[in-house]
Amino acid sequence: MRIWIVIGAANGFLSVALGAFAAHGLQSRVGPTELAVFETGARYQMYHALALFAVAWVAAQGGGAFATIAGWAFVAGTILFSGSLYYLGLTGSRALVLVTPVGGLAFLIGWAALAAAGWSLRTAGPG
């Protein structure tokens, strides 16, 4: 559980730092399209930083292997999806454009695994 909290917090920190960099450091250096792409990367990084806290909670409740799969899928998705968007936003190069949907697929796998982990939890009552 601790690893997901640490990675989630680190990603939240980086997302805020990169978002601030975009707003204050990139605005005069890149075009509006590149800035929007960069900001999308930061936004999705933050979404999945928060998702890692859900992974930590589900793992603490006994979510097992599905929670672990979800966590690592969110990490991979952040690196591939957000990372490729940061690269595109900074350089304007589309060299990593095929990596972005792979990162998006990793995010989808993460959400599906988190749902499976949640479903597998034992409940004290009905539901």
Burial of 65 (0-12, 13-18, 19+ CB in 10 A): exposed
Tokens 């966590």 sit on residue: 71
pLDDT for 127 equals 53
The secondary structure of residue 98, as a DSSP letter, is T
> CB-side exposure of 23: number of CA atoms within 13 Å?
8
8 Å CB contact between 85 and 34: no
**Residues 69-98: tens digit of each pLDDT:** 999 999 999 999 999 999 999 999 999 999
Give the mean pLDDT of 14-35.
94
Interior angle at CA 13, CA 9 and CA 85, nearest 5: 110
pLDDT for 27 equals 87
Interior angle at CA 96, CA 102 and CA 12, nearest 5: 65
Distances (CA, A) of 100 to 38, 39, 60, 92: 12, 14, 31, 14
pLDDT for 120 equals 93
**Residues 30-59: tens digit of each pLDDT:** 999 999 999 999 999 999 999 999 999 999
Higher pLDDT, 1 or 53: 53
Whole-model pTM: value is 0.93
